[in-house]
Structure formats: C-alpha cells, structure tokens
Structure 1
Amino acid sequence: MIDHTKGSFFGRRKGKPLRERQASLLETVLPNLRPDLASPPPGDIRELFPCPVKNVWLEVGFGGGEHLLHEAGRLPETGYIGVEPFVGGMAKTVAAVAEAGVQNVCLYDDDAGKLLDWLPDGSVDGVYQLYPDPWPKKRHWKRRFINPVNLDRYARVMKSGASFRFASDIDTYVDWALRHMRDHPAFEWTAERAADWKEPWRPWSGTRYEKKAIAQGRMPRYLEFRRI
C-alpha cells in the first residue's frame, strides 16, 4: 500500500545559481508575498492580498509562473495563491511580480500540503494543477500529488461548486488523476464530450513546459472537476 502521508511531492529544489538580483528579491520581496503559516489564517483569505479581491484561486506547482501571472493580469479582482518549491521558478516569478507591481498574488515556496492544511475550510474558489511531476517509476508513485490524502485536503478548502483544473501531457498520469478524482466522493468530472478534455480552457495562456511537450509530440489533456 502506498503511504501518501510521508515524503515530499517534488524533486530537486535548486538548479542553476541565481543572479544577484533574483537572490536579493527572494530575501526582500518574497517574505511580503508569502502567507505566514506560523500564524492562524485570516477568517477571510481575501485579506491575504493588499488589494480588494472578490475570490481566490490556488495554483499548485506554477513552474515558471507563466500561467499564474497571465491569469493575475487578466483577472485583477481574483486573488491567486501560487505554490512552487523550485527556487528557480519562484525567483523568476517574484521578479516579475515586483517589476509589474502585481497586487493580487501571494506566493508560497514550500510543500503545498502544508499550505492546504493551513487554509480555512471552504475558502478557495478554484484550483489549478498544471503539468505536475508524473513520477513515472512505480516506486515513486507515492510522490504523485494527486492521491487520496491530498484530494481530501483539496476538498476541505474548496467551496461547493469550485473548479479543480488539471493538465498533463503524460497519459499514465492523466489516467491516474482521472481515476483518483472520479473515485473521490467530493468531486465530479464535468466533461460531456471529447473536446472538453482534449482542448484547454478558454482563455488559455499555456505554459513553457506545455509548448515544449507539444513540440516533442506529446499531447496535453485538460481535466476539470467540480467540488460537489
């Protein structure tokens, strides 16, 4: 039996050395964008943002931040909490947020499970999980973030009717995610026709990883589920 309560759900956290400015921004800007998990969460998580927002979405594993920043710019009245433990992706995104003066983004640079356990019940209007590490070897399946324990976490923090959007170019992980999501009593698959999972949501900015996958001949799949 796979133990989903232990171990990390991500691989290496560091890659190439950061440029001096990136390292400085992580030290000076990121603390102001990061939710303080050492303190109780606000009763209304919209208070996490310095600007007024009407709803809050979560993006777990935002990579280079392309999709997160696009959505934050497109929907300024929506607050986005982005999670990314990989230092390079976080540094790039912090720099972009600082340069553009983005107000409706919070960033968390550790395991998403910790953040999910901190967030209040029924506080999130939607979740994106785009191109997570598929951990293809069977002995690493316990590291796949889509699992019963984390789906319980998602279900607890999501509002009734909230959307969960998952994208992957790895067929085995798409099958895995679909099976686990459909088996969970808190979620229902919204697809009514093949195009609903073969075509991305609109509007859609894509990600750098997605473009690379398509160029290499791997076709992404887009699953959407509703919190019952």
Structure 2
Amino acid sequence: MTRPPRPPSPSAPPHAPRRILYGRRKGRSLRPARRRLVRELLPRIGLTLDAGPGAPLLDPARFFDGSPVFAAGGVPFSHAAAAPPWREVWLEVGFGAGEHLAAQAEAHADIAFIGCEPFLNGVAALLARVDARRLSNIRIYGDDARFLIERLAPGTLARVFVLFPDPWPKARHARRRFIAADTLDDLARVMADGAELRFATDDPVYLRWALAALTAHEGFRWVAEKAADWRVRPADQPATRYEEKARAKGVTPVFLVFERHPRAAPGLRQKPQNT
C-alpha cells in the first residue's frame, strides 16, 4: 500500500530543542478517498514555511492569494479571488477533526482561517470537509503551531482558538501544555489589539493551569463578567466532538475568552494590568 504524504511542514528551526506539545502524528490507515485528498488538495491549501535565521515575518493574509482552489464544471472557484481583501485572519491551534474550523469558515466567508494540526488523520478529516463544502478560506499548517506563530508579523491575527487541547494530565508532562508563558508571549505579539483568545477545556487541572498563566500575563484581559460567561459556550462557536464527549460523560466544559490588551502608545509605558 502506498503511504500518503505527510502534511507540509517546515524544516526544524536551528535553535535549541523545544517543548513537544503534541502526541502521535498518525493513527489508523487512511481510506482511499482521504489519501487522494492528502495527495491532491493538501498541497494546494497546506502551508510550508522557510526556516532559519533572517526569514522575514509574514502577513498571514498573504497565504490566501486568490489562486484557484477548486474547479467546478471547468470554472475555477476561489472566494479569495471573488472577494478580496479578507476582513480578518483567525487561527485555530489543534483543530482535531476540523468540525469547528470548517463550520466557522462556512459561516464567515469573508474571514481567512488557518488551522494547525500535526495529526495526519485530523488533517485528512478537515480536507474532506473543505472538499465537500468547497471552502476556499482555509489554509492548513501540519506541524507545531508555534513554528507558524513565530513567523507571523505583529498584530495580524484577530482571533485565536485553543479548544479542548490535550491536557497532558500527568505532572511530568505538564510542560507540554500549549498554554504557557512562552506561547502567550508569542500570541500577544501576533494578535491585534482587542483580538480574542478563546480557550476551552473539560479538564479541571488544565483549567487552573491556563487561568493562572493567562491572568498573570499582562498582554491579556479576561472579559468574563458573570458565571455564564465561562459556563456557556459562546453563541457563535460551534460545538466540537470533544465537547460532546465531555457532556456525554456528565462533565461541563469551561469556556474562557481573553482579550488582547491594547499596546502602549509609542513613548508611553504600559500600565500594569493589576494596579
């Protein structure tokens, strides 16, 4: 059996080893239809980044250049070509099977979406949704989201989703959690003033961990005003299969929304958040 190609990924950056935040790369063998999508569609919407020192920072909107993604009846289909420029760029870190990302992209045709997922089976599942719904406002990065984030220009993301990430429950694996001081520093740099960071989990340990890290970071402000703000999923945010699994077990997930603090004006010192 011919093995499907792996998602496009950058060369490893030439610096010290980093925390590994994800688990396995591949699960069960892909069905023929999904192998075809990995072979034919992924090269058209997958992102490959130049690695190495001196590589320029990138405006993520340029990943959506208007080149045709689909052809129906011989006529190329491309939302990017039909309605530039994109109103905003949103990022999902670890999109799983892509149900949330595809639903958001379908609901917001004027927004460009980037999904990061190193698990090939999840990438293939999203490709199937992209193909079935003819979505041209999605790009896929099949590697560690941090490699992409560190290459983006400042203030270029309007929303970031980190929904039900692996909680890495064992104490010795805690450093593999995505929400941490270093990744929040990187997100604060690439998120625009007022941009939203949306985090969801059904794991109480990860919840405490994430709350501690986020509330301690001067770049973010928790926007919750009442209990329903974290107990109820935002109305414009479709459910994921991980949320449904949690509820089936009788577990109520928690939804956190943090806002990127406005940056200090040139020449002015940023006022500390808690003073």
Given candidates 32, 57, 68, the residue that maps to 1:20 is: 32
**Size of the alignment, in residue pairs?**
225
Matches within 5 A, 1:114-133: 114-133=147-166
C-alpha distance in 2 between matches for 1:227 and 1:5: 29
Aligned partner of residue 118 in structure 1, secondary structure: coil
Tell me the equivalent position of 2:46: 34
Distance in 2 between residues matched to 1:46 and 1:134, nearest whole Å: 31
How far does the alpha carbon of each residue in 1:32-62 deviate from its partner, in whole angstroms, 9 at most, with x for none? 1122312866754222123121100000011
Q: Find 1:174's aligned residue among 199, 207, 217.
A: 207
2:81 equivalent to 1:48? no
Residue 101 of structure 1 deviates from its aligned partner by 1.6
Q: Which residue in the other structure is 2:76 paired with?
A: none
- Pairing of 1:83-98 with structure 2 (within 5 A): 83-98=116-131
Counting only pairs closer than 5 Å after superposition, residues 64-83 of structure 1 correspond to structure 2 as 64-83=97-116
CA 1:41 to 1:124, structure 2 compared with 1: closer, same or farther past 3 Å? farther
Give the deviation of 1:98 after TM superposition: 2.0
Aligned-partner residue type, residue 127 of structure 1: V
Map of 1:195 onto structure 2: 228
Supply the distance in 1 between the matched residues of 2:252 and 2:160 (Cα, whole angstroms): 22
**In the alignment, which of 60, 71, 95 is matched to residue 93 of structure 2?**
60
State the 1:30 CA deviation: 1.0
1:217 aligns with 2:237: no
Query: Are 1:46 and 1:54, in contact at CA under 8 Å, matched by a contact in 2?
Result: no
Contact kept, 8 Å, 2:179 with 2:210, in 1: the verdict is yes
RMSD: 1.6
* Distance of 1:215 and 1:100 partners within structure 2: 28
Deviations 1:96-144 (A, max 9, x none): 2123221111111100110111111111011000000000000000100
- Larger Rg over CA atoms: 2
Length-normalised TM-score, structure 1: 0.94
- Cα distance change of structure 1 residues 43 and 132 upon mapping to structure 2, 3 Å threshold: closer
Distance 1:135 1:148 in 2: 17
TM-score, normalisation: structure 2 = 0.78
Q: Which runs of 5+ in 2 are unaligned?
A: 1-15, 67-79, 262-275
Q: Residues 5 and 149 of structure 1 are in contact (CA less than 8 Å); yes or no, is this contact kept in structure 2? A: no
Aligned to 1:163: 196
More helix by share: 1
Q: Distance in 1 between matches of 2:243 and 2:119?
A: 18
State the alpha-carbon separation in 1 of the partners of residues 114 and 23 from structure 2. Answer: 21
Equivalent residue, structure 2, for 1:101: 134
Aligned to 1:8: 20
Of 234, 249, 260, which residue of structure 2 is paired with 1:227? 260
Aligned to 1:37, the other structure's residue is in SS state coil
2:150 aligned counterpart, secondary structure: helix
Question: Counterpart of 2:34 in structure 1: which amino acid?
Answer: Q
Report the alpha carbon displacement of residue 197 of structure 1 after superposing the two structures with TM: 0.4
- Structure showing greater relative contact order (alpha-carbon pairs closer than 8 Å, 6 or more residues apart): 1
* Corresponding residue of 1:134: 167
